[in-house]
Amino acid sequence: MTSHRSNPKLPNLNGWNQPKPRHSLGYRTRHQARSVVVSVVAAALVFVGSAAAMTWYDINHVIDDNTISIIPQKSGSTQNTVVDPNAGQTINILLLGQDTRSGEENKALGGPGEAENHQSDTAMVLQISADRSYINLVSIPRDSIVNAPSCQTSKGTIAARYDVMFNSIFANAYAKGGDLASAGSCTMAAVNSLTGLDIENFVVVDFAGMRDMVDALGGVDLCIPVATKDATTGINLQPGMQHLDGTTATEYARMRHGTGTDGSDIMRTTRQQYLVKEIIKEALSKNLFTQSSQLYQLAKTALKSLSISSGLAHASTLVGLAMSLKDLDPTHLYMQTIPVTSWSKDINRVVWASNADDVWEKLRKEVPLTQADDTTSETSSDSSASPSSSDTPSASDSASASATPTETVDPKTGLITRADGTLIDPNTGGIVNKKNGTITDPTTGQYLGIADRYLNATVCAVNAQE
């Protein structure tokens, strides 16, 4: 087996590739007692080192089994570059939730459907800031009508298509190429074409994978705003803060029918955002020193649940990235759905609204989604211009800057309260539903996201972290 330490393409995590120190003859000793001590210490280090090596090999083996090679596209935007988490650069990743009934576990969670009908049920662009002080996460509704560029699959080219549902890009590429490499590569190429971003890596997770990750964390706390019951998924939840296991959390995030939902895919997207954010917050809360065993099991379970493109699929890359995010403030996780409006040809479909590019511009400029529009043009896309942790705007900072003299800002939720009692999300300008925390566009009425801090601190009466 080739050691990762000898691979010049991998990041130099913790100085592994540095030459070993050399000592003079004066460093040697003939004292028997000291030799015994050195021998005991050396034996202990060998034992610990062997355990660490086995753990490292175990993790690498799991990663190797779930690595996807990216298929190069004619545009040249899809590369197989290994991510260096310590290079001080912004990292963009496309997260894809695969709606498949392939396998007994996915069939049990997904319900009725064709086993080989691979769809992209969820698509999110994840942007990790260069200084690791914040994360942007933007959802793309699966029912969006878009233009898909031509793309290369494992078994040939798919021609460009116009006015197609976004999730059909993943499905058609899988049908043509017969693998996740085709589906993920074509979807990533389409997102780059539609947004002007240069995303180079993607991660795919299915129903069973999401369930296993939540269970590995020991469950996740979610605020259920109203009594929620759905015969299709079997969901039956009472209002309040609930500790959900992996199966229940996954079914809650994917349900579209019953109570607590209007049946739309875009409202379901808000629940998916909420679940992802709470999973990240729960993972960040784990102590690396006192819960190392649980973290190892979590990492192994998560990696088994994910299909990862080759640029990310290295233990050194993933460990380095996780370590660089260990001090991230959970309130600096910024999430929203790309603005959409109803499609004129089909009321059940949506198209990206005229202000959708304002969101992508923030990601292109590498600034937080909370950044005011009038300052994005002043911020360089150079990584050196990324805001430091102390400068990264929180929801409260953004609200204070946006509020008028007649408006008040709640420091717990970061929301603006107008004189008439209307709640406004300062990041999107959307109206917050006081009953369930959803945020809607004041013009189109479409969902933009969910006010998670308001949901936790007010609807479920839990003190949110400032």
Compute the radius of gyration of the chain from its Cα atoms. 24
What pLDDT, in 10s, does the model give residues 57-84?
Answer: 777 888 888 899 999 987 655 556 788 8
- 338: which residues sit within 8 A by CB, 6+ positions away? 138, 139, 140, 141, 144, 352, 356, 359, 360
Say if 360 falls within a structural domain: yes
CB 121 within 8 A of CB 103: no
Rounded to whole angstroms, the Cα distance separating 465 from 463 reads 7
Q: What is the CATH number of the domain that holds 265?
A: 3.40.630.190
- In terms of domains, do 115 and 178 share one? yes
Label residue 114 exposed, middle or buried (CB < 10 Å: 0-12, 13-18, 19+).
Answer: exposed
Q: DSSP class of residue 75? A: T
Phi, psi dihedral angles at 141 (to 5 degrees): -60, 135
- Whole-model pTM: value is 0.80
**Who has greater pLDDT, 59 or 26?**
59
- In terms of domains, do 437 and 290 share one? no
* Per-residue confidence band for 356, with pLDDT thresholds at 50, 70 and 90: very high
The mean-pLDDT minimum among 158-162, 316-320, 343-347, 396-400 falls in 396-400
The mean-pLDDT minimum among 94-103, 125-134, 340-349, 375-384 falls in 375-384
- In terms of domains, do 184 and 332 share one? yes
Label residue 231 exposed, middle or buried (CB < 10 Å: 0-12, 13-18, 19+).
Answer: exposed
Residue where one domain finishes, among candidates 338, 365, 392: 365
Look at the block and give the residue holding tokens 């031509």. 150
Q: What is the pLDDT of residue 216?
A: 85
Q: What is the pLDDT of residue 29?
A: 43
DSSP string across 268-323: HHHHHHHHHHHHHHHHHTS-TTTSHHHHHHHHHHHHHHEEEETTT--HHHHHHHHH
Say if 264 falls within a structural domain: yes
Percent of all residues in the chain with a pLDDT value above 70, rounded to a whole number: 73
What pLDDT, in 10s, does the model give residues 29-39?
Answer: 445 555 566 55
Rounded to whole angstroms, the Cα distance separating 238 from 223 reads 10
Q: What is the pLDDT of residue 28?
A: 43
Residue where one domain finishes, among candidates 336, 365, 394: 365
Say if 287 falls within a structural domain: yes
Q: What is the pLDDT of residue 381?
A: 41
What pLDDT, in 10s, does the model give residues 185-206?
Answer: 999 999 999 999 999 999 998 8
* Per-residue confidence band for 431, with pLDDT thresholds at 50, 70 and 90: very high
Q: What is the pLDDT of residue 353?
A: 96
Say if 297 falls within a structural domain: yes
* Per-residue confidence band for 22, with pLDDT thresholds at 50, 70 and 90: very low
* Per-residue confidence band for 134, with pLDDT thresholds at 50, 70 and 90: very high
- In terms of domains, do 339 and 423 share one? no
**Who has greater pLDDT, 94 or 371?**
94
Q: What is the pLDDT of residue 416?
A: 95
- In terms of domains, do 169 and 248 share one? yes
The mean-pLDDT minimum among 63-67, 177-181, 453-457 falls in 63-67
Mean pLDDT, all residues of the chain: 81
Structure tokens at 241: 């803060």
Rounded to whole angstroms, the Cα distance separating 348 from 265 reads 10
Say if 55 falls within a structural domain: no
- 426: which residues sit within 8 A by CB, 6+ positions away? 370, 395, 398, 399, 401, 402, 403, 414, 415, 416
Q: What is the pLDDT of residue 452?
A: 94
* Per-residue confidence band for 375, with pLDDT thresholds at 50, 70 and 90: very low
Q: Is the pLDDT of residue 440 over 80?
A: yes
Q: Single out the residue of 253, 245, 238, 206 nearest to residue 108, CA to CA.
A: 206
**Who has greater pLDDT, 145 or 54?**
145
* Per-residue confidence band for 50, with pLDDT thresholds at 50, 70 and 90: low
Q: Single out the residue of 284, 227, 223, 286 nearest to residue 259, CA to CA.
A: 227
Pairing of strands 156-158, 135-139: unpaired
Average pLDDT over residues 386-405: 60
The mean-pLDDT minimum among 4-13, 208-217, 314-323, 390-399 falls in 4-13
Number of structural domains found in the chain:
2
Q: Is the pLDDT of residue 293 over 80?
A: no
Residues composing the chain: 466
Say if 381 falls within a structural domain: no
DSSP string across 80-126: -PPP-TTS---EEEEEEEEE---SHHHHHHH-SS-TT--EEEEEEEE
Structure tokens at 405: 């003299």
What pLDDT, in 10s, does the model give residues 260-269?
Answer: 898 888 999 9
* Per-residue confidence band for 325, with pLDDT thresholds at 50, 70 and 90: confident
CB 62 within 8 A of CB 304: yes
Domain with 437, as residue range(s), is 409-459
- In terms of domains, do 174 and 268 share one? yes
Residue where one domain finishes, among candidates 365, 383, 399: 365
